[in-house]
Amino acid sequence: MNFASRLVQKVKDRFVQHKLKHFSDKLKSISQINMQDLNDERLKAEALKLKMRVQEGESLDEVLVEAFAIAGEAASRVLGMRPFDVQMMAAAALHEGNMVEMHTGEGKTLAAVMPAYLNALQGKGVHVLTFNDYLAGRDAEWMGPVYRFLGLTVASVKEGMTIEERQNAYAADITYVTAKQAGFDYLRDTIAMKTSDIVHRPFHYAIVDEADSLLIDEARVPLVIAGEVASSGNDGSRMAQIAKELALGEDYDFDENKRNVFLTEAGSEKAERLLRTGNLYEARNSHLLTALNCAIHAESLLKRDVDYVIRDGKLEIIDPYTGRVAQNRHWPDGLQAAVEAKEGIETKSSGKILGTITLQHLLSLYPKISGMTATAQDSADEFEETYNLNVVEIPPNRPNIRIDHDSRIYTHKEAKLNALVKEIAEVHATRRPILIGTSSVEESDQLAEELKKAKVPCHVLNAKNDEKEAEIIAKAGELGAVTVSTNMAGRGVDIRLGGGDPRQADQVAELGGLYVIGTHMNESARIDNQLRGRSGRQGDPGSSRFYVCLEDELINRFGIEKAIPAAYRTNKQDEELSASVFHKKMEHIQRIVMGQNFEMRKTLNKYSDMVEEQRRIHHEQREAVLWNDDTMSAAEKHVRLYYMDRSWSDHLAYVSYIREGIHLESLANRNPADEFHHRIIHAFEQLPDKIEQDTAKALSKLNTAGTADEIDWEKEGLKAPSRTWTYLIQDQFVEKKANIFNF
Ligand code: ADP
């Protein structure tokens, strides 16, 4: 470390100490309150008193110390777990709306109980947003007895619940739910025709678990509610055939980041001949050009078993961050159809979009949020800039003694694979447990195959089954266990040495604890650290090592190989490359990629923020019609809501149409973002008049004498979609374009 970096480190350390001091002062006050001598009845009575005080107007900050002391005592009686000091500090940091970094296995689930309890005292509901449905159920059940002891209600939300069950779950003081479920429920609420169908209360406070995954990796994933069936009318199979006939390098090419395709002149001519359409670039052919681009993209950039799998005749997208099958996810319309056509699967219409919201905007609807994760520091700037959340690093309960070894770097894939298998087999012979994080389903299968040949039995985790996955991951610390998983499978589940058996735990600790191996470097150091963090929990021994080769996707995609001396690129060798220059280069590249991705997300936000603002205005006006307005008859209300929803849905279709082609504006020397804003503002301004006219026209024809229930809305052509469905859009496609055209 040179002088400047030592200085920076010193300033940073002092700042961290300063922040921690504030929370340790709180901790001191909490520990001075003695609750241990009260019997259960008295403790419950104290909790009741506290609730009344808050309801009579005392602020949460005023009662924090007492509330945390009571909740901590309750947890230790009901669960047998007395919160560690560091958990109490984390709890205070959570209450103050921070992003709390706590290592895996430090007990975030319990730390969240104190702020959830405190904020729930206001009676407006608290959401604990978990990583998946399984954890929502598990955590609500696990922590539930503490809240109930304290006189509060707790519930979790699961897929498949009825409206009434959801209403009850959200009416609880504390609700454990995934952001996706909460978001889909929110979207359903935004098109409810009756107040009795609404399931959410106004949002109050959310504690986001595994927050980096949600707030960064998935933040821009749009949640969608769709209804009615509308076919795009594209002949996908023909386009897929044409895409197969075009040759890479001759007819089309990639941009340098391999994120987008474009047709060459020869390719355009060939496609025009095959399609018999004349000039593809004429406006009348723009839908064909878009469909062809999608088909080429699907053919050349999206790979089976890397980007998606085919299971039971269905296309399922693999989440690039977790490496698992992402249920309920679509690519944007054209691309989805193109991949289905490529694979010869019947294309199902994704319907007409009735409403959409990104996870980031969903979270902005909560007046207060805080987050917790094992890996926040690497993305601290992004948390601050995007969400106004400060990262607070909570020290571990026991010092972390995991050893993170330098990566081993090889020239080519085969050498890397051989080295991996050799290392795993050697370590496995000692019965030390090993967890291996791979980059794709394909790679995990390939490695498992090689391990089988080397007579090393292993568990492979690459399919989506949260419950089973949790079970396998929990056993990954047992003697002799070898677990091959994709990226971050099993987030939120603790790996204990010996799988929970204390005698075995000692044996595993003697062998060195859990050994984590990464088979590639990720785009973000944060994700690498997430994998490393599976080992060395609660002061356990452990170690980690990454294996990298110069043929890895990340290195190729970002042109890093150019930075590597030519001799290494051309001369393959079986032994690892030892030059330390490689280590520095790898870290440098990772920092550049992280920065690039952050910039890209910021630019993408420029687009979604404006639509979000419009959504907010539209939603407010809709709420006014649904709840506050008594001057309208029920029939008029229905008609007005019907047209409001319809014009909003048309507006969304228009926005996505504009969005698809807006990058072309830069060819005409116009700023795509300005042009986009200009057009959608103009379109949005037309909505109220259109709604007014349509409503008046419909009402003049309608016999409104009866109640709304007596009118046959279907016959009148004014029936709201009775069948709706929800899904997520994989927006990588949009990101890819954003990167190319810099909009
Ligand atoms: P994280 O989410 O931070 O990875 P968990 O909330 O899953 O960690 O907790 C990890 C483990 O630590 C759990 O098995 C839990 O029972 C245990 N644990 C947490 N807090 C305490 C405590 N205060 N006392 C004893 N055990 C605890």
Q: What is the pLDDT of residues 210-225, one digit of tens each?
A: 999 899 988 888 898 8
Location of structure tokens 């019965």:
431
Quote the CA–CA distance of 464 and 699 in Å, as a whole number: 50
Phi and psi at 128, nearest 5°, equal -100, 115
Quote the CA–CA distance of 330 and 315 in Å, as a whole number: 9
Cα-Cα end-to-end distance for the chain:
38
pLDDT of residue 198: 96
**Helix, strand, coil share of the chain (percent; to 5):** 55, 15, 30
Quote the CA–CA distance of 172 and 170 in Å, as a whole number: 5
Are 12-224+359-393 and 607-711 in the same CATH fold? no
- pTM summary value: 0.84
| Ligand 1 centroid distance, CA of 390 (Å) | 24
Does any ligand 1 atom lie closer than 6 A to the CB of residue 83? yes
Q: Residue 601: is its pLDDT beyond 70?
A: yes
- Does domain 607-711 correspond to CATH entry 1.10.3060.10? yes
**Would residue 140 be called left, alpha or beta, if left means φ above 0 and alpha means ψ between -120 and 50 degrees?**
alpha
* Cβ pair 170, 201 in contact under 8 A: yes
3-state secondary structure of 330: strand
Quote the CA–CA distance of 197 and 191 in Å, as a whole number: 10
Quote the CA–CA distance of 140 and 157 in Å, as a whole number: 10
Q: Nearest Cα to 373, choosing from 703, 694, 93?
A: 93
Q: How confident is the model at residue 66 (pLDDT cuts 50, 70, 90)?
A: very high
3-state secondary structure of 126: strand
Q: Nearest Cα to 343, choosing from 370, 305, 369?
A: 305
Q: Which of 85, 110, 393, 397 to mutate to test the pocket of ligand 1 (most atoms within 8 A of CB)?
A: 110
Q: How far is CA 241 from CA 274, 303, 640, in A?
A: 10, 16, 46
Q: Where do runs of H (alpha helix) occur along 301-440?
A: 333-342, 359-364, 380-387, 413-429
Measured from the Cα of 75, ligand 1's closest atom is 23
99: β partners: 371, 391
Quote the CA–CA distance of 252 and 273 in Å, as a whole number: 15
Q: Nearest Cα to 462, choosing from 431, 498, 437?
A: 437
Q: How confident is the model at residue 141 (pLDDT cuts 50, 70, 90)?
A: very high
Tell me which residue has its CA closest to atom 15 in ligand 1. 107
Amino acid at site 607: Y
Q: For the chain, what are the domain ranges?
A: 12-224+359-393, 236-350, 403-578, 607-711
Instruction: Please enumerate in sequence order all residues whose Cβ is within 8 A of that of 253, keeping only pairs 6 or more positions apart, or say none.
Output: 261, 262, 264
CATH fold label, 236-350: Pre-protein croslinking domain of SecA (3.90.1440)
Pairing of strands 314-317, 308-311: antiparallel
Does any ligand 1 atom lie closer than 6 A to the CB of residue 106? yes
* Cβ pair 120, 173 in contact under 8 A: yes
| Ligand 1 centroid distance, CA of 84 (Å) | 10
Q: How confident is the model at residue 674 (pLDDT cuts 50, 70, 90)?
A: confident
Does any ligand 1 atom lie closer than 6 A to the CB of residue 131? no
Q: What is the DSSP letter of 202?
A: P
User: Tell me: the pLDDT tens digits for 144-153?
Assistant: 999 999 999 9
Tell me which residue has its CA closest to atom 19 in ligand 1. 107
Measured from the Cα of 496, ligand 1's closest atom is 14
- 323 annotated as belonging to a binding site for a ligand: no
pLDDT of residue 71: 98
Does any ligand 1 atom lie closer than 6 A to the CB of residue 82? yes
Quote the CA–CA distance of 187 and 223 in Å, as a whole number: 8
3-state secondary structure of 374: coil
Quote the CA–CA distance of 39 and 16 in Å, as a whole number: 39
Does any ligand 1 atom lie closer than 6 A to the CB of residue 109? yes
Quote the CA–CA distance of 123 and 54 in Å, as a whole number: 9
Phi and psi at 306, nearest 5°, equal -115, -55
| Ligand 1 centroid distance, CA of 372 (Å) | 14
pLDDT of residue 333: 62
Does any ligand 1 atom lie closer than 6 A to the CB of residue 105? yes
Q: Residue 115: is its pLDDT beyond 80?
A: yes
Quote the CA–CA distance of 340 and 308 in Å, as a whole number: 11
Tokens of 242: 């044409």
- 227 annotated as belonging to a binding site for a ligand: no
Does any ligand 1 atom lie closer than 6 A to the CB of residue 523? no
Tell me which residue has its CA closest to atom 23 in ligand 1. 83
Tell me which residue has its CA closest to atom 13 in ligand 1. 107
Does any ligand 1 atom lie closer than 6 A to the CB of residue 143? no
User: Tell me: the pLDDT tens digits for 344-365?
Assistant: 887 766 567 899 999 999 999 9
Chain CA centroid to CA 141, Å: 24
Tokens of 149: 């002891």
| Ligand 1 centroid distance, CA of 647 (Å) | 50
Mean pLDDT calculated for residue range 9-26: 80
User: Which DSSP helix (H) or strand (E) runs through 300?
Assistant: helix 286-300
Location of structure tokens 């009579």:
56
Chain CA centroid to CA 198, Å: 25
Q: What is the CATH number of domain 403-578?
A: 3.40.50.300
- 108 annotated as belonging to a binding site for a ligand: yes
Q: Which of 76, 109, 373 to mutate to test the pocket of ligand 1 (most atoms within 8 A of CB)?
A: 109
Quote the CA–CA distance of 339 and 350 in Å, as a whole number: 14
Q: Residue 37: is its pLDDT beyond 80?
A: yes
Q: Residue 579: is its pLDDT beyond 70?
A: no
- 270 annotated as belonging to a binding site for a ligand: no
Quote the CA–CA distance of 299 and 553 in Å, as a whole number: 18
> In whole numbers, what is the pLDDT of the chain averaged over residues?
86
* Cβ pair 146, 71 in contact under 8 A: yes
| Ligand 1 centroid distance, CA of 108 (Å) | 7
Instruction: Please enumerate in sequence order all residues whose Cβ is within 8 A of that of 535, keeping only pairs 6 or more positions apart, or say none.
Output: 402, 435, 495, 513, 514, 515, 516, 542, 543, 544
Does any ligand 1 atom lie closer than 6 A to the CB of residue 542? no
Residue 175 burial (CB count, 10 A): 29
542: β partners: 514
pLDDT of residue 733: 41
3-state secondary structure of 231: coil
Quote the CA–CA distance of 133 and 169 in Å, as a whole number: 14
Does any ligand 1 atom lie closer than 6 A to the CB of residue 101? no
Quote the CA–CA distance of 434 and 423 in Å, as a whole number: 10
Q: How confident is the model at residue 231 (pLDDT cuts 50, 70, 90)?
A: very low
Sheet holding 222-227: strands in order across?
A: 329-330, 724-729, 222-227, 352-358
Q: Please give, one letter per residue, the 3-state secondary structure of 634-651.
A: HHHHHHHHHHHHHHHHHH
Does any ligand 1 atom lie closer than 6 A to the CB of residue 107? yes
3-state secondary structure of 491: coil
Tell me which residue has its CA closest to atom 22 in ligand 1. 81
Q: What is the DSSP letter of 107?
A: -
Instruction: Please enumerate in sequence order all residues whose Cβ is within 8 A of that of 719, keeping only pairs 6 or more positions apart, or say none.
Output: 642, 713
Q: How far is CA 105 from CA 93, 340, 474, 507, 532, in A?
A: 18, 41, 12, 19, 13
User: Tell me: the pLDDT tens digits for 679-700?
Assistant: 899 999 999 999 999 999 888 8
Measured from the Cα of 102, ligand 1's closest atom is 3
How many CA within 13 A on the CB side of residue 723? 4
* Cβ pair 636, 699 in contact under 8 A: yes
Q: Residue 256: is its pLDDT beyond 90?
A: no
Tell me which residue has its CA closest to atom 20 in ligand 1. 107
User: Tell me: the pLDDT tens digits for 503-525?
Assistant: 999 999 999 999 999 999 888 88
pLDDT of residue 737: 38
pLDDT of residue 559: 64
Quote the CA–CA distance of 263 and 250 in Å, as a whole number: 9
Tokens of 443: 């790679």
| Ligand 1 centroid distance, CA of 109 (Å) | 7
- 313 annotated as belonging to a binding site for a ligand: no
| Ligand 1 centroid distance, CA of 364 (Å) | 29
| Ligand 1 centroid distance, CA of 81 (Å) | 8
Mean pLDDT calculated for residue range 428-450: 92
Instruction: Please enumerate in sequence order all residues whose Cβ is within 8 A of that of 541, keeping only pairs 6 or more positions apart, or say none.
Output: 401, 402, 509, 512, 513
- The structural architecture, per CATH, of the domain 12-224+359-393 is 3-Layer(aba) Sandwich (3.40)
Q: Residue 644: is its pLDDT beyond 90?
A: yes
Phi and psi at 420, nearest 5°, equal -60, -50
Q: What is the DSSP letter of 609?
A: H
Instruction: Please enumerate in sequence order all residues whose Cβ is within 8 A of that of 536, keeping only pairs 6 or more positions apart, or say none.
Output: 103, 400, 401, 402, 513, 514, 542, 543
| Ligand 1 centroid distance, CA of 152 (Å) | 22
Q: Residue 284: is its pLDDT beyond 90?
A: no
Does any ligand 1 atom lie closer than 6 A to the CB of residue 90? no
Quote the CA–CA distance of 625 and 219 in Å, as a whole number: 31
- 709 annotated as belonging to a binding site for a ligand: no
225: β partners: 355, 726
Q: Which of 101, 106, 132 to mutate to test the pocket of ligand 1 (most atoms within 8 A of CB)?
A: 106
Measured from the Cα of 492, ligand 1's closest atom is 2
* Cβ pair 618, 607 in contact under 8 A: no
- 507 annotated as belonging to a binding site for a ligand: no
* Cβ pair 653, 353 in contact under 8 A: yes
Tell me which residue has its CA closest to atom 9 in ligand 1. 107
Phi and psi at 573, nearest 5°, equal -140, 155
Quote the CA–CA distance of 624 and 630 in Å, as a whole number: 10
pLDDT of residue 222: 86
* Cβ pair 42, 59 in contact under 8 A: no
Quote the CA–CA distance of 234 and 516 in Å, as a whole number: 47
Q: Rounded to the nearest 5 degrees, what angle is found at the Cα of 386, between the Cα atoms of 384 and 391?
A: 25
